[in-house]
Amino acid sequence: MSRAEALSPTRLKDAAPLFAALGDATRLGLLVSLCSGGPLTVTRLSGQFDVSRQAITKHLDVLAEAGLVKSSRQGRERIWTFEPKRLEDAHQYLERLSREWDVALGRLKAFVET
C-alpha cells in the first residue's frame, strides 16, 4: 500500500462513518440547505424541518463529526457551512468500488474467452 493510500480517508474503515452520516433523510436535507442556501444558523435551519431545534443540532453534530459541515461562532449565533472535501472522499470511494468491479468483469470476460 502506498503512503498516499495509507493516509487517504477513503479507506474502508474511514468510509463507513462518512456514509453513515449521509444515511439519514434529515441530514441529507440539511446538506442540501447549506449547500444551495448558503451558511445558516441552527434556528433558521430547524424552521425548514418538522423536528425540534435540538434534534437539528444533533444532526449537525453528526455531520460535523464526519467532516461534512463546519461551524463558527459569530456573536450569539453559530453559523453552519457546508464542507465539500469529505463529499469528494465519498465520491472517490464509490469510484474505487466500481472500478474494482469493472476489473473483476474484465477478468471474467478474459477467462470466458479462453
Partner DNA sequence: AAAAAATGCAACCAGGGGGTTGCATCATTC
Partner DNA sequence: GAATGATGCAACCCCCTGGTTGCATTTTTT
- Does 77 interact with DNA (rule: CB under 7 A)? yes
Of 8, 26, 33, 92, the residue at the interface with DNA (CB under 7 A) is 26
Is 69 strand, coil or helix? strand
Q: Assess 70 for contact with DNA (CB under 7 A).
A: no
Interface pick for its own copies out of 36, 72, 112, 113 (rule CB under 8 A): 36
- Cα separation, 12 vs 15, whole angstroms: 5
- 56: CB partners within 8 A, 6+ apart: 26, 30, 42, 45, 46, 49
3-class DSSP state for residue 70?
strand
Quickly count: other Cβ atoms within 10 Å of residue 34's Cβ.
21
Q: Which does 33 bind (CB under 5 to 8 A by kind): DNA, its own copies, none?
A: none
Q: Does residue 5 belong to the site contacting its own copies (CB under 8 A)?
A: no
Binding site for its own copies (CB under 8 A): 12-13, 15-25, 27-29, 31-32, 35-38, 82, 84, 87-88, 90-91, 94-95, 97-98, 100-101, 103-104, 108
